[in-house]
Amino acid sequence: MLDASAKILLTGAAGFIGSFFASSLNQSGYENLILVDDFSPASKVENHQNLDFLYKIHREQLFDWLESNEGAIDYIIHLGARTDTSEFDEKLLNELNTNYTKKLWEYASDNQIPFIYASSAATYGDGSHGFSDQLNREELEKISPLNPYGWSKHVVDIWALDQRKKPPFWAGLKFFNVYGPHENHKNRMASVVYHAFHQIKETGKMKLFKSHNPKFKDGEQLRDFIYVKDLVKIIKFMMQNSTSLNSGIYNVGTGNARSFKDLSEAVFKTLNLKTEIIYIDTPQDIRDKYQYFTEAEMEKLKNAGYKEKFYSLEEGVNDYIKNYLLKEANN
Tell me which residues are annotated as active site: 149, 186
Which residues are CB-contacts of 1 (< 8 A; sequence separation ≥ 6)? 240
The helix-helix angle for 313-320 and 228-240 (nearest 10°) equals: 100
* Residue 14: Cβ within 10 Å count: 28
Determine the Cα–Cα distance for residues 17 and 238; give it in Å rounded to an integer. Answer: 16
Cα–Cα distance for residue pair 251/130, rounded to 1 Å: 12
Contact yes or no for 316/199 (Cβ under 8 A): no
Contact 305, 241 (CB under 8 A): yes
Residue 112: which region, alpha, beta or left (left: phi > 0; alpha: psi -120 to 50)? left
Given a contact cutoff of 8 angstroms between Cβ atoms, the answer to whether 300 and 173 are in contact is no
Report how far residue 166's alpha carbon sits from residue 246's, in angstroms, rounded to the nearest whole number: 13
Cα 24 to chain centroid distance, Å, stands at 15
- Residue 229's nearest CA partner among 119, 309, 171 is 309
Residue 264 burial (10 A CB sphere; 0-12, 13-18, 19+): buried
Of the CA atoms within 13 Å of residue 316, those in its CB half-sphere come to 27
How many Cα neighbours within 13 Å face the side chain of 104?
A: 32
